[in-house]
């Protein structure tokens, strides 16, 4: 930056560290004050560590719990020359002290997004549901209520920060860079996670990086152009694969998915693929398939075998010329968003077979541009009200009813 003078920022003094610790912590019983001061000193004057540690202990009144926390913090101390490593043990302590394993999984999921990225709460909670972190609830509304509650808890212990984004000031969360680094470090333990996000990759990582222990892989926001037949990763435990926002990605070879038998979440949104590989039809464990905004997509293989599918999002796809085959077999589907793929009427008899639907959004369709119609025109697709009436678990509906011109939502 061609600075005229470089100023070294020293760690906080003992007094400053204690003041910051108490500002975040709030009131504490007098008997734990000395223990709290010892914990503040253990943070070595590092503001992020102090803030995170104080957030972890906020609301704890039991002196035994304070003593135990201090002992665990001392035992986990690993002094390194590098400043990042000095604070990592404090951040990891806060992570380990999350009361619920589901909270830990929610926290780690945030690390799959780019650095400094403002993650929309709605998108994040949908991932929690997709991954099975949030489960066992009767309604999607209840699932989202639980998701917001979990994110609030992570904000209260200072592992996440609140943020706003976009024209409508959507509620978001974001991760401090060091906290994200720590989360990625945890994901990568035992080679269980691969996170290469926003790294300007032009090709997928080499075969040696696709280890058998992988459970989550995030390659979103890169410049990957194709996935050739030379790539056929053998990852029997891989459950989540995020390739979204690779705007240059046009081709994925069939072999790529052939050994990913346990894949549950596949996100290819906002890529330029023209066809989905036929091997996706064999991913019988798949619960979530996201193809949002794949504007060049023309072909989908049969969905007949994907009976575990719960969420299918084909929104923003404009070039599919016919409805995907095998949709009548998706008996477990909870969420369906798509357009009519050129049809004027949603296939009769299909909706009653999707009796578990909670969300059904049927967009208007834009036919592919022609010489006479360069931009294409919106073409609404209608559904029969009697068939929608069969969806007893429906919570959210956007469609045109047969015989009506207004959108129903």
Q: Give the three-class secondary structure for 120.
A: strand
Q: In 350-409, where does DSSP find H-type helix?
A: 385-388
How many Å apart are CA 264 and CA 367, to the nearest integer?
Answer: 32
Lookup: tokens for 285 = 């464990």
- On whether both 314 and 379 belong to a single domain, the answer is yes
Residue 202 predicted with pLDDT over 80:
yes
Q: Which pLDDT score is estimated for 289?
A: 98
Do 409 and 341 belong to one domain? yes
Q: Do residues 275 and 252 lie in contact, with contact meaning Cβ atoms separated by under 8 Å?
A: no
360 lies in some domain: yes
What is the reported pLDDT for 257? Answer: 95
* Residue 377: predicted pLDDT: 66
Please give the Cα distance from 132 to 146 (Å, whole number).
13
Tens-place pLDDT, residues 251-273: 999 999 999 999 999 999 999 99
Say which residue the tokens 């290469």 belong to. Answer: 196
Q: Considering Cα of 145, then 237, then 234, then 333, what sign does the dihedral take?
A: negative
DSSP at 369? P
CATH classification at residue 196 = 3.80.10.10
Q: Give the pLDDT band of residue 157 (cuts 50, 70, 90).
A: confident
Same domain flag for 386 and 363: yes
Answer whether residue 176 shows pLDDT above 50.
yes
pLDDT of residue 70: 87
Q: Is residue 65 a part of any domain in this protein? A: no
Rounded mean pLDDT, 125-149: 95
Q: Would 287 be classed as within a structural domain?
A: yes
CB atoms within 10 A of CB 92: 17
In a domain, 202, yes or no: yes
308 and 288 within one domain: no
Its domain, for residue 135, covers 112-174
Distances (CA, A) of 76 to 3, 65, 88, 90, 376: 38, 16, 10, 8, 62
Query: What is the separation, in whole angstroms, between the first and last Cα of the chain?
Result: 52
Task: Give me the sheet containing 119-120, strands edge to edge.
Answer: 119-120, 170-174, 161-165
What is the total count of domains within the chain? 4
Mean pLDDT of 68-79: 70
pLDDT at 81: 42
Average pLDDT over the chain, rounded to whole?
88
Q: Does 186 map to a domain?
A: no
Residues 202 and 281 in one domain: yes
Q: Given pLDDT bands bounded at 50, 70 and 90, which one contains residue 405?
A: low
Q: Which of the 8 DSSP states describes residue 170?
A: E
294 plus 369 within the same structural domain: no
The model carries a pTM of 0.83
User: Which of these three, 251, 282, 300, is where a domain ends?
Assistant: 300
400 shares its domain with 307: yes
My answer on whether 240 and 262 are in the same domain is yes
Secondary-structure percent of the chain, ordered helix, strand, coil, rounded to 5: 35, 15, 50
Is 70 exceeded by the pLDDT of residue 373?
A: no
pLDDT for 301-338, tens place per residue? 999 999 999 999 999 988 887 889 999 999 999 999 99
């Amino acid at each position: 930056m061609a600075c005229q003078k470089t100023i070294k920022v020293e760690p906080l003094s003992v007094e400053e560290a204690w003041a910051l610790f108490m500002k975040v912590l709030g009131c504490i019983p007098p008997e734990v004050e000395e223990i709290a001061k010892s914990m503040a000193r253990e943070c070595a004057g590092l503001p992020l560590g102090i803030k995170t540690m104080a957030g972890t202990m906020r609301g704890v009144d039991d002196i035994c719990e304070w003593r135990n926390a201090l002992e665990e913090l001392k035992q986990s101390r690993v002094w390194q020359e590098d400043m990042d490593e000095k604070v990592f043990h404090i951040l990891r302590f806060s992570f380990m002290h999350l009361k619920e394993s589901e909270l830990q999984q929610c926290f780690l999921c945030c690390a799959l997004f780019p650095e400094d990225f403002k993650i929309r709460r709605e998108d994040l909670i949908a991932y929690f549901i997709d991954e099975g972190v949030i489960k066992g609830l009767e309604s999607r509304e209840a699932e989202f209520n639980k998701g917001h509650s979990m994110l609030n808890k992570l904000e209260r212990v200072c592992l996440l920060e609140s943020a706003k984004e976009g024209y409508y000031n959507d509620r978001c969360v974001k991760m401090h860079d060091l906290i994200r680094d720590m989360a990625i470090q945890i994901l990568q333990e035992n080679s269980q996670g691969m996170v290469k996000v926003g790294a300007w990759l032009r090709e997928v990582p080499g075969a040696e990086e696709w280890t058998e222990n992988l459970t989550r892989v995030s390659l979103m926001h890169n410049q990957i152009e194709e996935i050739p037949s030379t790539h056929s990763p053998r990852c029997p435990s891989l459950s989540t694969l995020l390739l979204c926002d690779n705007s240059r990605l046009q081709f994925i070879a069939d072999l790529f998915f052939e050994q990913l038998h346990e894949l549950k979440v596949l996100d290819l949104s906002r890529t330029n693929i023209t066809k989905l590989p036929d091997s996706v039809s064999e991913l019988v464990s798949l619960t979530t398939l996201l193809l949002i905004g794949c504007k060049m997509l023309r072909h989908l293989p049969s969905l007949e075998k994907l009976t575990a599918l719960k969420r299918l999002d084909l929104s923003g796809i404009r070039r599919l010329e016919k409805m995907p085959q095998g949709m009548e077999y998706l008996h477990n589907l909870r969420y369906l968003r798509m357009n009519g793929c050129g049809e004027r009427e949603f296939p009769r008899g299909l909706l009653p077979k999707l009796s578990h639907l909670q969300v059904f959004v049927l967009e208007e369709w834009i036919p592919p541009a022609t010489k006479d119609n360069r931009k294409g025109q919106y073409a609404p697709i209608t559904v029969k009200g009697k068939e929608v009436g069969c969806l007893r678990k429906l919570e959210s509906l956007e469609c045109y009813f047969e015989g009506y011109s207004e959108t129903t939502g």
